Structure 1
Amino acid sequence: MSVDTRPATGLSRRAVTALAAFAGVVSAAVVLGVAEVVSLFVGAAGSPLFAVGSLVIDLAPAGVKEFMIAVFGTGDKAALLALMGILIVVISAAAGVLELRRAPFGVILLGIGGVVAVVAVVTRAGATGFNGIAAVVGGVTGVVVLRLAIDRLRLWQRAAERSATAVRVPGRTPAAPQFDRRRFLTLAVVAGAASVVAGTGARLMNATSTKVAAIRTKLTLPKAAVPAEPVPAAAMIDVEGISPFVTPTADFYRIDTALQVPSIDPDKWMLTITGMVENEVTLSFAELLTLPLEEHLATLTCVSNDVGGDLIGNALWLGYPIRALLAQAKPKAGADMVLSTSIDGFTAGTPLSVLQDDGTNALLAVGMNGTPLPLEHGFPVRMVVPGLYGYVSATKWVVELKVTKFSEDQGYWTPRGWDAKGPIKLASRIDTPLAGAAISAGTVAIAGVAWEQHVGVKSVEVQVDDGPWVEATLADSISADTWRQWVYRWPASAGSHRIQVRATDANGKTQGQTYQSPAPNGSEGWHSITVSVS
């Protein structure tokens, strides 16, 4: 009888490692999927993914925020989610391999991730220990799946090794590892697919944005009791490439700490004014809409806006003066700050004197450019305060105004190294031509915008190469709270040229040349570009 002694093919070390990593990733998917499903019953705040992302944002140093915005701009949140996804895959894959080679350290690693998720959930604004149940159940289920998957992988590996070394007799089939392979793959594929499907469905059910978006679409805002005057033609310069005087809502920048846009049913929204006041004030959305609303054009800008940056926009806002609400509350002597709080826990500290100033059109805004606020811009209600950077004034999804003192309370960004009061700095920007543009010789329109909200811009000057500063033509100003367009008709000659711009405000102060980064109180310096003329 002849004997076939050729070895069968077993599982290679590389293949086993890859399968263990796959099991780890599946286990992480189970953690997230199960947590999303359970959060349907314990509350949407129990969803761990966005809670962990928000925790990362809270703990990140100011420099990290600046880096993310500088690199990704308004796509910083999508970039953070992508980075989190990559880290989850890497860490969970490592947990799978570690569990295979050094059990139970893989389970411990996955368990640590679950603990972080629980901490992130229960420390979110408005969350309770009950919300943490979702992350606990998800974490335990993920650990069980990882243990089962790795145990089945070991059985498959051993069966493959026995099959590879077995003596083969003609007419007789040696024991094969097919049964153990099927058990492993069935568990991994079914658990992974079920988690993705169930988790995605639960996430969609947890996110009420679709419902709230439908409510917003049907909402009709009342007409303003104090409407804004139409923008005169003289306030706008007709030059291709210049920023429009009113920024389209779709193009308006968005910078905030909300990884997931809050979805608030306006019928359930409520604002309270608390703290150092004689009368606490409570206001519903319906009550807010019955008040005499006002329209005002105002430019908003983020403190992270670098020289020449685009984290700025000008819009028509509809709302009720905050000073009128504060007058009802009657702040007590000694108060100098209003701490506004968003439904997602973000806070901003605004000088009380600014909000009480009759000359500052600080609004509790409900409308933007003629429609209800978009969800991502604070629907149903946000703050708009001209003259201050957004991080100390422009709280979206606002639900509380606490009258207090700077010596006793801090806004979200102040303990992270940013200045407490954040007044807007004088700045100007070249919109056209673009940096690095190749243009033809002749008359070229150099144009852009300049701003210093609540102070106003008096003049703008342009310098080409080392030539003299030449005054640009300014569009008419309709308010000190809005930016002004400007243009200089340049007789361009062939060659490479550097173009700079600087502005002078209504008080006679001219922009400084020395560059300063956005942290800790806003960028400074002349915007400069280089173009090629032929």
Structure 2
Amino acid sequence: MRSFWRPAAAGVASVVAGVGAAELVSAFVVQDGSPVLVVGALVIDLTPAWLKDAVIGVFGTGDKAFLIVSLAVALVAGGALAGWLEALRPPVGRILIGLGGAIGVLAALTRAGSGLVNALPSALAAVAGILLLGWLVGLLRGTAPTRAAPRGSVSRRRFVSATATTAVAGALAAIAGQLVASGYRAASAARAAFRLPKPAVAAAPIPAAASFDIAGLSPIVTPNADFYRIDTALQIPGIQPQDWRLRITGMVEHEVKLTFAELLALPLEESTTTLTCVSNEVGGDLIGNATWLGYPVRHLLARAVPSADADMVLSRSQDGWTASTPLEALTDDRNAILAVGMNGQPLPLEHGYPVRMVVPGLYGYVSATKWVVELQVTRFDRVTSYWTDRGWSQRGPVKLSSRIDVPADGRTVQRGTVAVAGVAWSQHVGVSAVHVQIDDGPWQEATLADAISADTWRQWRFAWDAATGHHRIRVRATDAHGTVQTARVQDVVPDGATGLHTIDVTVS
């Protein structure tokens, strides 16, 4: 066991120190070159859609933390293996570290807008790891007794001290690099000092009858802290408001450039809109409703004058992520906006501060670009976006759906009148009815709360006279066009899940 753990410790210390040095250099030289983040982004890009959905299904919005922890475990395991191999068959361990660095270099070079400088931190991590591993394993060999030096030329205490110092120095460097590089902190301070301007057009007050007072029922407006977050950014872009710029390019007569100050000076409008992730399973919680403050995209596109042949707008995030939005969804009368506020507060950093897109009626993967910096007017047959390159459909209209919030699936309730309640949505169309089925009985109409608009979900409730036993409850919605929610089960790929949310309860 000693013949494994000592060289393994040397390998782990070498890798930690190499990555730590790279994180520190990344902080001062190229802040988007962090080896951990670029490799993590590559993993996200290469992971098949079904596995992404499975991870999201298990970890929800903690998927990124899971990925970071997994990468850290992989680094430690890889370092241990490299150390053991180096002691057993030199220079195999150093070659292994070099291969790890090559993966980091490749990951950095494949990021949008990257150059050779972006690969520098990963290259440094490999070089430092290789040199340190050679040194530490050399010290380890010096502790072994020989005929010339029966007690070894190097004390074991020196080896242990060198290994521990290397590991601690690397960890501290990594922490310092993250602290220095984090524009997040600066952006957070700027956001804290920012005060939203008053809207030129205020949102209509949400009627009291739009919400039922039922414990466990989703609130009609989702608090910012509870709003779902699904994106590909491992590190939230720290954009200072004074540095933010939006460009409208592509198939337009006039390119448009806009600063944050110029955006705020425009007549901003409030609107309440429900956003939904295409990865939301039937009955899932990747959906939220908020009141947004922003400026209509259609007015900015009118300045640019799109070509008559254009049919799509490719929006680009600060971190290179892209979404392909049908041009008509940004030029019709819906409240498609560049949002700066959410529920009366500046956008949270994780939800796109300082500016994001909000487009009613479309899943987020084709519309809800956070940290947006460019709108490229183009065509679907010329350009593809991040998720369409990975097998998802080009156009992502939100599907009619409904969910049971209470009682929770698997719960036991008391016999008698039981409140069954939830939400239903068909963004930019509206919900006209909700029906509930108990076991295999007839569909019975539920009571709808008042609608805020066609772009938001609606609460519903049903008074169930519950008899003792085990029961199955289903829900389905009908939209404003008279379309009834389908019972056909479909996975989230390629354009959203379908089916009826069903729960099982026990009545005692």
- Asked whether the two chains share a fold, i.e. TM above 0.5, the reply is yes
Number of the residue aligned with 2:121: 134
Confirm or deny: 8 A CA contact 2:142 2:154 kept in the other structure: no
The whole-number CA distance in structure 2 between the counterparts of 1:493 and 1:185 is 69
Shift in Å at residue 183 of structure 1?
Answer: 2.9
Cα distance, 1:289 vs structure 2: 0.1
Does 1:35 pair with 2:10? Answer: no
2:455 to 481, 487, 507: 481
Larger radius of gyration: 1
2:498 is matched with 524
1:117 and 1:302 mapped to 2: Cα distance? 30
1:222 paired to 2:197: yes
Asked if residue 430 in structure 1 is aligned to residue 404 in structure 2, the reply is: yes
C-alpha separation in 1, matches of 2:128 and 2:158: 18
Task: Name 1:277's counterpart in structure 2.
Answer: 252
Alpha-carbon spacing, 1:147–1:447, altered in 2? closer, same or farther (3 Å) = same
Quote how far apart the aligned CAs of 1:210 are: 1.2
Match of 2:360 among 380, 386, 392: 386
Deviation at 1:492?
0.8
Letter in 2 for 1:383: M
Query: Is 1:101 paired with 2:88?
Result: yes
Partner of 2:109: 122
Q: Supply the distance in 1 between the matched residues of 2:403 and 2:74 (Cα, whole angstroms).
A: 38
Corresponding residue for 2:306?
331
Per-residue CA distance 1:71-102 (angstroms, 9 max, x = gap): 11111101111111111111111111111111
Matched, 1:416 2:385: no
What count of residue pairs does the alignment treat as equivalent? Answer: 508
Q: Indicate which of 163, 173, 183 corresponds to 2:158.
A: 183
1:176 positional shift:
3.0
TM normalised by structure 2 equals: 0.98
Q: Residue 261 of structure 1 corresponds to which residue in structure 2?
A: 236
Deviation at 1:124, TM superposition (A): 2.2
Gaps of 5+ in 1: 1-13, 164-173
Task: Give, as a single letter, the amino acid of the residue that structure 1 aligns with 2:61.
Answer: T
Find the aligned partners of 2:2 and 2:464 in 1 and give their Cα distance. Answer: 66
Distance 1:117 1:332 in 2: 41
In structure 2, stretches of 5+ residues that fail to align are none
Deviation at 1:41, TM superposition (A): 3.1
Q: Which amino acid aligns with 1:323?
A: R
Q: How far does residue 123 in structure 1 lie from its aligned partner after superposition? A: 2.6
> Which amino acid in structure 1 is aligned with residue 402 of structure 2?
S
Matched, 1:78 2:65: yes
Secondary structure, aligned partner of 1:44: coil
Match of 1:201 in 2: 176
**Residue in 2 aligned with 1:461?**
435
Q: For residues 205 and 28 of structure 2, what CA distance do their matches in structure 1 show?
A: 50
Contact kept in structure 2, 1:125 and 1:343, CA below 8 Å? no
Q: Is 1:55 matched with 2:37?
A: no
Any idea what SS the aligned residue of 2:243 has?
A: coil
Deviation larger for 117-126 or 238-247: 117-126
Q: How far off its partner does 1:68 sit?
A: 1.0
Once the two structures are superposed, residues 204-236 of structure 1 have per-residue CA deviations (whole angstroms, 9 ceiling, x without a partner) of 111111111011011011110010011111111
Q: Are positions 1:342 and 2:329 aligned together?
A: no
Give secondary structure in 1 for the equivalent of 2:172: helix
The yes-or-no answer on 1:155 pairing with 2:130 is no
Distance 2:33 2:387 in 1: 25
Write the deviation string for residues 384-414 of structure 1: whole angstroms up to 9, x where unpaired.
Answer: 0000000000000000000000000011000
Amino acid at match of 2:384: Q
**Corresponding position of 1:493:** 467
Q: Secondary structure at the match of 1:459?
A: strand
Q: Which string of whole-angstrom CA distances, capped at 9 and with x for unpartnered residues, describes residues 234-289 of structure 1? A: 11111111100000010000000101111100100000000000000000000000
Task: Tell me how far 1:48 sits from its aligned partner.
Answer: 1.1
Amino acid across the alignment from 2:126: G
RMSD: 1.3
1:295 counterpart letter in structure 2:
E
Which residue of structure 1 aligns with residue 375 of structure 2? 401
Identical pairs, percent: 56
How far apart are residue 177 of structure 1 and its match?
4.0
Q: 1:288 aligns with which of 256, 263, 274?
A: 263
Residues in 1 aligned to 2:347 and 2:172: alpha-carbon distance in whole angstroms: 33
How far apart, in 2, do the equivalents of 1:483 and 1:162 lie? 81
Would the aligned equivalents of 1:386 and 1:481 in 2 still touch at CA under 8 Å?
A: yes
User: Counterpart amino acid of 1:385?
Assistant: V
Q: Using the alignment, how far apart are the partners of 1:329 and 1:464 within structure 2?
A: 54
How much has 1:162 moved relative to structure 2? 6.1
The answer to whether the 8 A contact 2:12-2:79 is kept is yes
Task: Please state whether the residue corresponding to 2:138 is helix, strand or coil.
Answer: helix
